[in-house]
Amino acid sequence: MSHTDVLRDQLRLAPVIPVVTVDDARISIDLAHTLVRAGLPVIEITLRTSAALDAISAIAKAVPEAVVAAGTVLAGSQIREVADAGAKFIVTPGTPVKLAEDLREAPIPVMPGCSTVSEAMTLADMGFSYLKFFPAAASGGAAWLKSVNGPLPNLMFCPTGGIDRTSAPSYLSLPNVVCVGGTWITPAEAMKKGDLAAIERLAADAASLQG
């Protein structure tokens, strides 16, 4: 099975991918169990903290039913790091050409980020057909995605950035949206307090969303 097929199947597992910033890797295993139990098995851990790689590794080893992704990958040097940590796929916020070239050689699937039609076309020419649209709300939102479906019918998107419980269904209703990414499932205050009950409620609600 190709990387594209693997990524497609992973992205179809749930309507929402929690985009999580982890400050303390010790919470990562319990957090992953909570999200999986609530119906959100795909979890993006952003490489925004020093705990991120440890969190990815812990989830990959202890919660095999979770599909843990490495987000905010900015450099080719990080590709091997996240793959070795156990990430199942890579997500970038944007994709300069040099990074895209490196990502084509990645040992795991990749969902590169874009925010314009030209960027999406460039990535499509390089063989990527599942793209992160970021920052979604600031870059045209659901209206942008609806507009590009005609000229770019072979591309599928995971819009992320500025999406919440209220706006998510408007994205999920579009034929070129496979899922959405969101931070609202793991709010900073709940993460800081370790309030997994609150996170589970938000996750269960997100798992029930439809377009």
Query: Is the separation of the CB atoms in 31 and 20 below 8 Å?
Result: yes
Query: Is the separation of the CB atoms in 132 and 114 below 8 Å?
Result: yes
Q: Per the residue annotation, which of 88, 119, 132, 200 is the catalytic one? A: 132
Q: Please say if 200 is a catalytic residue.
A: no
Q: How far apart are CA 131 and CA 116, in angstroms?
A: 11
Q: Per the residue annotation, which of 44, 88, 119, 200 is the catalytic one? A: 44
Query: Is the separation of the CB atoms in 160 and 180 below 8 Å?
Result: yes
98 CB-side CA count, 13 A: 4
Q: Please say if 44 is a catalytic residue.
A: yes
Q: How far apart are CA 161 and CA 46, in angstroms?
A: 13
H-assigned helices in the chain:
3-11, 28-38, 52-62, 77-85, 97-104, 117-125, 141-148, 168-172, 188-193, 196-207
CA distances for 8 relative to 3, 4, 18, 26, 30, angstroms: 8, 6, 17, 30, 26
Residues marked active site are found at 44, 132
